[in-house]
Amino acid sequence: MGLLDGKKGVIFGVANDRSIAWAIARKLRGEGADLAFTYLGDAMEKRVRPLAESLGSEIILPCDVTIDAEMDAVFEVLGEEWGGLDILVHSLAFANKEELKGDFANTSREGFALAMDVSAFSLVALSQRARPLMQGREDGASIMAMTYYGAEKVVKNYNVMGVAKAALEASVTYLAEDLGKENIRVNSISPGPIKTLAAMGISDFKAMLDEVSGRAPLRRNATQDDVAGTAVYLASSLSSGVTGENIYVDCGYNILGIS
Ligand code: NAD
Ligand code: 0WE
């Protein structure tokens, strides 16, 4: 008996076995959910397919969220195979590397638009398509997105990604209002820094991890598994009355002032 027996979920954002989305997928599966996965381009398929198959998944599809036709195709297959959907996990972000250093004031028009498209608008685009499949589910349905503290406070070098995450967090609240009447919940999770592919090549990432683990109330960094626990809660009926929320999984770092 799992918390998610018989539930159907789709996971956007597995790149490898360190991805936050992968830890979420494993825990959702552990509670009995059936999962579909998407990957970005052919290069990712050879990593994602074996991971997905190890959880017994049969629906494994390409999806670049900047391409409408790829998103359409994913939900067409989900409709045909499952006829409905209970859980959507959005764990995607991208900005050009050059935008993640130096002054935010130097952000280019193209860099701003790309970060907003991949990291924020994609939640709206995916929710639009999930909505008809999520109507009339027994315990309602759940959409969740990964955000970061840099949406709210200035984090050095996070730059245009902070602005995109602010748009993502605001989108969560507006989507929660629209989809709430159909018993679809929409929430975000805000993890502390975690060493994943998306953290590779970020200058001074190690120093950020050390600052957080030194100061956070729990005196450690958050892990993918910490995030996955909160994702199970948001996916399950344990969170039946919770929508439009942002839940920090950061070992308490966000509550601090001067220490
Ligand atoms: P990750 O690199 O494993 O995941 C990022 C994913 O985004 C990858 O799977 C990548 O393929 C996907 N992606 C990028 N561009 C895409 C596009 N155009 N279409 C479809 N997919 C695309 O890294 P992660 O750390 O697991 O990141 C997952 C989420 O968690 C992101 O939203 C990130 O902002 C957020 N987050 C990460 C941290 C951290 O410190 N690692 C902290 C807070 C929030
Ligand atoms: O959301 C993120 C990372 C998102 C991200 C990472 C990359 C690296 C590779 C988006 N686009 C790219 N583009 C690339 O080319 N995080 C929350 C992790 C992160 O990234 C930072 C951080 C933290 C924390 C960047 C600067 C400062 C802090």
Cα distance between residue 208 and residue 203, in whole Å: 9
C-alpha dihedral sign at 110, 116, 122, 127: negative
Beta carbon of 151 within 6 Å of any ligand 1 atom: no
pLDDT digits (tens, 9 = 90+) for 233-252: 999 999 999 999 999 999 99
Beta carbon of 148 within 6 Å of any ligand 1 atom: yes
Please tell me the distance between residue 209's alpha carbon and the centre of ligand 2 in angstroms: 13
Q: What token pair was written down for 203?
A: 């200058």
* pLDDT recorded at residue 180: 98
pLDDT digits (tens, 9 = 90+) for 200-243: 889 899 999 999 999 999 999 999 999 999 999 999 999 999 99
Please tell me the distance between residue 138's alpha carbon and the centre of ligand 1 in angstroms: 30
Half-sphere exposure of 106 (CA within 13 A, CB side): 9
Strand spans (E) along the chain: 8-12, 34-39, 59-62, 87-90, 141-146, 184-191, 246-249
- Edge to edge, the sheet with strand 34-39 lists 59-62, 34-39, 8-12, 87-90, 141-146, 184-191, 246-249
Opening angle at CA 251, ends 246 and 257, nearest 5: 85
Catalytic entry in 158, 233, 248, 253: 158
Determine which of 7-11, 93-97, 115-119, 200-204 has the lowest per-residue pLDDT on average: 200-204
Whose tokens are 């996990």? That residue is: 89
* pLDDT recorded at residue 125: 99
Whose tokens are 């995030």? That residue is: 227
Mean pLDDT of 120-130: 99
User: Does the structure show a pLDDT above 90 at 255?
Assistant: yes
Please tell me the distance between residue 183's alpha carbon and the centre of ligand 2 in angstroms: 33
Give yes or no: 158 in active site.
Answer: yes
pLDDT band per the 50, 70, 90 thresholds, residue 30: very high
| Those residues with Cβ within 8 angstroms of residue 16's Cβ, 6 or more apart along the chain or in another chain | 22, 47, 51, 197
Beta carbon of 94 within 6 Å of any ligand 1 atom: yes
Q: Which ligand is nearest to the CA of 40?
A: 1
Reduced to 3 states, what is the DSSP secondary structure of residue 13?
coil
Nearest residue to 225 via CA among 194, 198, 197: 194
Beta carbon of 150 within 6 Å of any ligand 1 atom: no
b/e per residue 106-126 (b: at least 16 CB within 10 A): ebeeebbebbbebbbbbbebb
Give yes or no: 253 in active site.
Answer: no
* pLDDT recorded at residue 53: 98
Inter-axis angle of helices 122-134 and 68-81, nearest 10: 20
Reduced to 3 states, what is the DSSP secondary structure of residue 241?
coil
Instruction: Give residue 216's identity as a one-letter amino acid code.
Output: A
pLDDT band per the 50, 70, 90 thresholds, residue 175: very high
Q: What token pair was written down for 221?
A: 């960094």
Mean pLDDT of 51-59: 98
User: Does the structure show a pLDDT above 90 at 259?
Assistant: no
- What residues line ligand 2, using a CB cutoff of 6 Å? 93-95, 97, 100, 148, 155, 157-158, 161, 193, 198-199, 201-202
Nearest residue to 223 via CA among 254, 251, 255: 251
